[in-house]
Amino acid sequence: MAEKENLDKAVCSVHHMAVRDTMDILNGKWKIRIIASLSFHKKRFMELIADIDGIAAKMLSKELQELEMNGLVTRSVLNTKPITVEYELTPYGHTLKPVINEMAAWGMKHRKKVMKGSALK
């Protein structure tokens, strides 16, 4: 029936739009990995550099700014000598953890699958 079809299409397009919205915020090579890194503990700039393999200071700085603008991360300058800066997920940033965790879960299964595949060759 036509009504059911239309409903299907509507559900579908809302789904697509939502996926797209999420990807627009998590765009680029690094954001997801930064959030993943912060999802365990808050970290300082240098700790993030060390933790996220391959990222350059420029990119980290830029991506953190975007995440901060989107309300996912907070930046706090600590009153230490020399100053240290802590980055932390906001409560809103933590709502992305299910997304990250599903990615991690899939990545682990995938790694196992790939390793099994290459062992069979």
Partner DNA sequence: GGTGTAGGTTTCCTTTAGGAAACCAGTTTC
Partner DNA sequence: GAAACTGGTTTCCTAAAGGAAACCTACACC
Q: Min. distance of Cβ 120 from DNA in angstroms?
A: 29
Q: State how far the Cα of 34 lies from the Cα of 39, in Å rounded to an integer.
A: 9
**Cβ closest to DNA, residue 58 vs residue 121:** 58
Q: Name the strands in the sheet holding 43-44, side by side, starting at the edge strand that comes first in the sequence.
A: 43-44, 84-89, 73-78
Q: Pattern 19-48, binding to its own copies, x per CB under 8 A?
A: xxxxx-x---x--xx--xx--x--------
Out of 4, 81, 116, 121, the only residue in the binding site for DNA (CB under 7 A) is: 81
Which tokens is 98 given?
């299910």
Q: Min. distance of Cβ 115 from DNA in angstroms?
A: 24
Please state, in angstroms and as integers, the Cα–Cα distance from residue 21 to each residue in 15, 16, 66, 92, 101, following that order. 10, 9, 15, 15, 19
**Cβ closest to DNA, residue 10 vs residue 25:** 25
Q: Which stretch binds its own copies (CB under 8 A): 51-59, 60-68, 73-81, 83-91?
A: 51-59
To the nearest 10 degrees (0 to 180), the angle between helices 31-38 and 97-120 is 110
Out of 15, 44, 62, 75, the only residue in the binding site for its own copies (CB under 8 A) is: 15
- Residue 85 near residue 78 (C-beta atoms within 8 A): yes
Residue 44 as a binder of DNA (CB under 7 A): the answer is yes
